Structure 1
């Protein structure tokens, strides 16, 4: 019995050490698991915070964008007109004559003096409706004053006042030469009064503020993109009259109109 005691003592001690080792391993595993769990929780919290911050930044970004990039207001069109021009004559007319003009263009003035009276008569008779497109191709010829734009815009102001046709005629009668500053705003305002503007204060503000400068730029751009390369350009019911880059005479224009009307003269 005594001989076996030492062996028995050695075995018990070995088992004790093994148990302690396993306990330490279990404790280490539990600690590692707790640390992993804590890292996952911490990562989740950080991720939530990051997402929340990004969401706030996104909202702020959208808000700033909306505040600094507001949609452009609708393009204002003058009374009796559209974003591309001004109508003169009855809407019921069978034929629409489009005239692309520039108030500094001398050939436009010649066309006005030669063919204008015939067109005016046809308007009065209800045969045609004229669609004026006062472009600003010759801004470059007014020594930096952008006379074509200002004259076109003033004509739109005159349309608001109901005197576009008379104002247009007066501008041609007082047409400045190319490569000069053109008429001043004050002169344009005076001619508006001469044309019959009643509310002079509103007309004056319209001219001085350049209310229709964007309108002029828009219709000029549309004309250019539409293939109109010079003034005057004449179209009858959408069809170009005469050869491109040439000015049709009165007979050519009236022939095109009569054809569209279905008459032979």
Structure 2
């Protein structure tokens, strides 16, 4: 009787093991399918970006009138980079984006948690650069209006969360919903403490429009293929770095390799008012 029970138990254990192995194989298969789909979508950005970048001059926002007022705390060449993370982080991730760009939203939604994790650990500083190529390609002003609103959020130290909110609530590419300042102010309500009279005034007055236009001109003159353009320590990682396709896991690996033997960053400066350019 005991021997029979042992055989039954062994059979149940073997069946359970086979089920777990099947589940593991199915999980790996789903991951591979999703990863392949993501790579395919992101790979299209090279082609889509070329079209958008080339046709973005149709309604070039580089001719915006008004004084060039940079947001608080911007850095880099011509003070066009919005920094997020420790200033002394051992690696820098440079990202050129357009808030109306659907592939930018796909990139952000896939890599957001990874980038936040690397920033919080002091492994990278992110330098965001804003472009308005979709306005030129599709018409409208949503790229410019959203970029100005994001610059207004930077003035009070809320660029990062507002940046995420914009991409999480991005309208379809042909829909110029971001061209409506009221919509941008409404979304600011999702960031605690951001919707203030000062922020509203900054958005409605287009305070940083000319700075955004200058950033877009730098993008157009930079020889980039399209948005998003992603550089790790100056080396392009999009859509591939060497023989490896970009993925959250690979981004972590590349940062770890670049930071080997280096201390995490700890010095993070709050945005300070920038002089007019």
Kindly report the root-mean-square deviation, in angstroms, between the aligned alpha carbons of the 2 structures.
2.2
The change in CA–CA distance for 1:122 and 1:215 in structure 2 (over 3 A counts) is same
Contact 1:142 1:180 in 2 (8 A): no
Please name the residue that 1:161 is paired with.
156
Please name the residue that 1:238 is paired with.
234
Alignment of 1:80 onto 2:73: yes
Alignment of 1:216 onto 2:212: yes
SS in 2 for 1:91: coil
What are the superposed Cα offsets for residues 178-231 of structure 1, whole Å, 9 maximum, x if unpaired?
A: 111223201111222321235711111111111111111111111221212211
Of structures 1 and 2, the one scoring higher in RCO (CA 8 A, sep 6+) is 2
Contact 2:66 2:210 in 1 (8 A): no
User: Using the alignment, how far apart are the partners of 1:111 and 1:132 within structure 2?
Assistant: 14
Please name the residue that 2:203 is paired with.
207
User: TM-score with structure 1 length normalisation?
Assistant: 0.65
Contact 2:68 2:208 in 1 (8 A): no
* Structure label with greater radius of gyration: 1
1:88-237 aligned at under 5 Å gives the runs 88-141=84-137, 143-144=139-140, 146-183=141-178, 184-198=180-194, 200-237=196-233
User: Using the alignment, how far apart are the partners of 1:179 and 1:232 within structure 2?
Assistant: 18
Q: Which runs of 5+ in 1 are unaligned?
A: 1-71
User: TM-score with structure 2 length normalisation?
Assistant: 0.63
Match of 2:258 among 254, 260, 263: 260
Q: What is the aligned residue count?
A: 189
